[in-house]
Amino acid sequence: MNEQELEELYCATAPRLRRYLGRLVDDPDDLTQETFLRYLRAGYTAAGEDRVRILFTIATNLARNAWSRKKPQATTADPVAATDPIERIDLIAALRNLSPRERSLLWLTYAEGYDHREVARVTGMAHASVRVLLFRARRKLARLMERER
Amino acid sequence: MTDIRKAFDELPPPLPDARDSETARAIWLRARMTAIVEDDARSRRVGHLRFASAAVFVAALDAIALLVVASLAFHR
């Protein structure tokens, strides 16, 4: 990959990654840049949507490391949301009450449109686990959104 | 029942940042610099290993030569 290709990939994908990471960690900008840096250093040769999936996988792993570093606050608050222009939306408020893993599963499925198999690949979880956890997360989110209204 | 898919669909699209191109160039430079530093460290490590292996080889050869000389002297 050359500089021009990276610039094109970054401009096309960074906004999606930032939005995803914004739901998971305090500093989505930093982790977005780190994601691309790791992608470059690993020397992947994938193309098209595969590249995006790899980037989401790296981002998920980085976010997971960030959660494990600050576990106590991880499930209680979403610091990004305080300054988020879309905070008023019920969904965002409800997502803040889910665990980072649940947010990640729901976001990849509904915002990114990945199917169970792709979500399993990105998160490194078993396909069956994704189905079960996603079902629970969906039910929890629906309940929370009902309560928000 | 809340329609989760609809709620996600109603989210604003991902917003590009005006500094994205600039950030991409900075990442490219960082990756290049990291690669250069890592290559340098790797080649230094390889150099040290080569030197160590040459030293071991010379020491081993020295010991073998001594053994051969001693064994020849003994048989004479």
pLDDT in tens, chain B (76 residues): 568 888 888 888 888 888 999 999 999 999 888 888 888 888 899 999 999 999 999 999 999 999 999 999 988 7
Q: Do A15 and B20 touch (CB under 8 A)?
A: yes
Reference A67, options A17, A33, A31; nearest CA is A31
Radius of gyration over every alpha carbon of chain B, rounded to an integer in angstroms: 32
Q: Do B14 and A110 touch (CB under 8 A)?
A: no
Reference A37, options B38, B14, B26, B20; nearest CA is B26
Task: Enumerate the residues of chain A whose CB falls inside 8 A of the CB of residue B8.
Answer: 91, 106, 110-111
Q: Do B5 and A91 touch (CB under 8 A)?
A: no
Q: What angle do CA A134, A138, A144 make, to 5 degrees?
A: 145
User: Please, which residues 24-53 of chain B have a Cβ atom closer than 8 Å to chain A?
Assistant: 24-28, 30-31, 34-35
The alpha carbon of A12 is separated from its chain's Cα centroid by a whole number of angstroms, namely 16
Asked whether A23 and A80 are in contact (CB, 8 A), the reply is yes
User: Please, which residues 97-126 of chain A have a Cβ atom closer than 8 Å to chain B?
Assistant: 106, 110-111
| pLDDT given at position A86 | 47
Q: Which of A6, A138, A146 sits opposite B27 (nearest CB)?
A: A6
Residue A148's pLDDT band (cuts 50, 70, 90) = low
To the nearest whole number, what is the mean pLDDT of chain A?
Answer: 85
Asked if pLDDT for residue A84 goes beyond 70, the answer is no
A139 CB-near residues (< 8 Å, 6+ apart): none
A89 touches chain B (CB under 8 A): yes
pTM of the model: 0.74
A-B CB pairs within 8 A amount to 81
pLDDT digits (tens, 9 = 90+) for A62-81: 999 988 877 655 444 444 44
A100 CB-near residues (< 8 Å, 6+ apart): A24, A25, A63, A64, A67, A74, A75
Reference A66, options A101, A115, A112; nearest CA is A101
Question: What span, in angstroms and rounded, lies between the C-alpha atoms of A119 and A117?
Answer: 5
